[in-house]
Chains A and B, each alone.
Chain A
Amino acid sequence: MPLDLVVNVAVGGVLTGLVYGLMALGLSVIYGVVRIVNFAHGEMMTVAMYGAVLLYTRLGLDPLLMIVPVGMALFLAGYAIQSLLINPFINRPEHVQFMLVIGIAIIIANGLLIGFGPDARNAPVSYAMDSFSLGPLLLDKVRVYAAGGAFVVAALLFGFFRYARTGKAIRACADNYVGARVVGLDVKRLYALTFGIGTACVGAAGSMLALLVDVTPSLGPSYTLLAFVIVIVGGLGSMAGALFGGVLIGLSEALAGLFFAPSAKSMFSFAILILLLLFRPQGLFGRRA
């Protein structure tokens, strides 16, 4: 098999994986702090994708430039969902919380179906069909921009949690819930903030993914599943793990499609997941419970 073909496919897989990683980062942040498994994750990303597509088709605004406004809108929605819906359920059994977020997912998917119909929509930006040429390497322009955007957003998020006062407070809540309350942190507000940050990540990822994938209302569950696979592979609650897991899954799917049957490429992500669950259940970057 020609080397340039393998390299082209591998680079494409890594670039797509970075966007996947950003999407999964949101899930990991939410789980790491609030301990809620967000089954509506994919649906929230679909909302962001529709937002980006609408802003492009109605106002001609490039989805890449809409990362911030779409992310902000999703942040507000996430903050509201956590404050109004999830916080009252925070001390209830896990299965009750699951039902709540699954309910939110169903409402979002059907709301989108009512609002936009079942047809696939996309944002046909002027550079949608362009590629960068680097010797034998041909890089899809949209994918390069989206991966770059994902990298920047992830770096900002890492910086926020490491250096910002609020970021440190959120980490304190994640590490020790009782301790955080004892020192006077407003845990419920920080939870809402975390959920908002998680959904903002999804908003940014959705805005970029709108350039790569045509959006339909039924898109959500497959991305929720993908985010779960990535987060479990990377390690639940680990931000670096989510990003690395995204790249690993993107790369493995691309290479599996090339070396084996393309129709069986998802099988390889699940094979990685099963192997990890068997031999390193905490994930690649997760801490043992």
Chain B
Amino acid sequence: MDKPAKRLLHLPISRRAFGIGAGAAVAAAVTPFNIVRAQTGPLKIGVLLPKSGYEAQIGQSCQRGVDLAPALLKELGYSVDLEIMNADTETNVDVARSRAEKLIADGANLLIGAFDSGQTSAIAQVTEQHGVPFVINIGSQPQITESGYKWVVRNFPTTVQLITRGLERIKTLLAETHTTPKTAVYLHVNDTFGTAVSGAINKLVPTMNFPFKIVEEIAYDPAAKDLSVEVSKAKATGAELVLVTTRINDAILLVREMVKQRWSPMGIVSPGSPGMYEEGFFSALGKYSDYCLMMVPWVNPKAPMTRQITALFKSKYPNDPVDPHIFNVSFTFEAFLVAADAYKRAGTTAPAELMAALRKTHIERHIMVGGPIEFDAKGQNNGIVTVGLQDRGGRAVVVLPKEAAEMEPVFPMPAWNDRT
């Protein structure tokens, strides 16, 4: 061996220098591939939903929207290459946060989720930290789009929008049915969503000239297994109207307890919460699910896309009725529509370009009642309209506004023992 070669072999390299060098070599080797991975190939969409835990039924319902998305997007002419990465938040804020971290670490270019405000808020913090676009399917906490986040868009009303529009619909209901309840009791879940809605209701009801006043507000745990005390307390107020903010299991428990305690109020009305239009609600309560009212955003029955998604749902899930799932499925699909549309226009999975395209979204043809899907500077779609729904014969039908109504509203509702 010649001298230079020998010198090379015996260079005094310390362990630290070797470590730095090796690290730099690995980084240099991997970085170009990362860049390549981030900009070409399929759009990797990480979907976060509560598929187990007490919100599981709703999470599973939303998942059907995820499962239908590729086929429907193809039908609509979005020939984009998507790779879907599913994750379960287990109805837990901390799990939602860690699953979001994991999806991003696994290469997700964009996240969609997460039905629940608390979980959605936690995910938004993660996407903000990592600079990854996040499209909210369902989740109404106002702070999510009021905190100056740069990587979030929401195709769902904020709690304030949901409640303001919901309360306005209740006014229309009372006017059209010529009823004037004098007192109301308000029962609500005490999670992030419920607390936000409660705040909005307390702020808005006194300013909107309602004929009734809220005589008592009762908060409860959404994972409660027994609501007998809550219903006893509400019944004791003698209120004529029951306002609720529910999830699904507690909505079932509330109605079940009202029947057991033989308390038939004038009506059970939700100004903007889920629970009472879900499949589980109808199957658990049968005839007692009828006549509950919800003021919520809903699908436009006349939109061609509604017919398309309904047909696809029926072919994929022939044994399941579409109506109880349509809200969750449609909002979740619309999140995919927004993502695919942005990807098509951006032509890249690079986060900044994708986010810029999301902000410029303008989709005229979609499913939910309202104007085109577009986002303001905060990432909020302000054009979603609230309709009045009533459970009738095991399905939720539009009863308000008149121009979109499938049936006339029945209010006050028939007493429990008058039902056949």
A-contacting residues, B154-194, CB 8 Å: 190
With A120-B280, A129-B256, A131-B260: A257-B52 Cβ-Cβ less than 8 Å: no
With most chain A CB atoms within 10 A of its CB, the pick from B56, B220, B226, B259 is B226
- CB pair A12–B229 under 8 Å, yes or no, is yes
In the complex, whether B228 has a CB less than 8 A from a CB of chain A is yes
How far apart are the CA atoms of A61 and B418 in the complex, in Å?
28
- CB pair B261–A118 under 8 Å, yes or no, is no
In the complex, whether A43 has a CB less than 8 A from a CB of chain B is no
- CB pair A263–B220 under 8 Å, yes or no, is yes
Per the CB 8 Å criterion, the residue count for chain B at the interface is 35
In the complex, whether A37 has a CB less than 8 A from a CB of chain B is no
With A5-B236, A263-B219: A129-B259 Cβ-Cβ less than 8 Å: yes
In the complex, whether A111 has a CB less than 8 A from a CB of chain B is no
- CB pair A218–B53 under 8 Å, yes or no, is yes
Band of interface residues on A: 35 or more
- CB pair B221–A263 under 8 Å, yes or no, is yes
- CB pair A262–B233 under 8 Å, yes or no, is yes
- The secondary-structure label for the interface of chain B is helix
* Chain B hits for A187, CB < 8 A: none
How far apart are the CA atoms of A8 and B235 in the complex, in Å?
12
- CB pair A16–B56 under 8 Å, yes or no, is no
The one of B57, B220, B286 in contact with A120, judged by C-beta atoms closer than 8 angstroms, is B57
How far apart are the CA atoms of A130 and B54 in the complex, in Å?
26
In the complex, whether B98 has a CB less than 8 A from a CB of chain A is no
- CB pair B236–A2 under 8 Å, yes or no, is yes
In the complex, whether A213 has a CB less than 8 A from a CB of chain B is yes
- CB pair B262–A131 under 8 Å, yes or no, is yes
Q: Mark A16-35, 1 if CB is under 8 A from B, else 0.
A: 10000000000000000000
Q: Could you tell me the distance in whole angstroms from the C-beta of A52 to the nearest C-beta in chain B?
A: 16
With most chain A CB atoms within 10 A of its CB, the pick from B54, B229, B261, B262 is B229
Q: Could you tell me the distance in whole angstroms from the C-beta of B328 to the nearest C-beta in chain A?
A: 14
- CB pair B229–A265 under 8 Å, yes or no, is yes
The 7 closest A-B pairs by CB, nearest first: A118-B56, A257-B229, A129-B259, A118-B52, A263-B190, A213-B225, A262-B230
**7 A–B contact pairs at CB < 8 A?**
A5-B232, A131-B260, A131-B262, A216-B54, A218-B54, A263-B220, A266-B221
Which residues from chain A sit less than 8 Å from chain B, CB to CB? 1-2, 5, 8-9, 12-13, 16, 113, 117-120, 122, 124, 128-131, 138, 140, 212-214, 216-219, 222, 253-254, 257-258, 261-263, 265-266
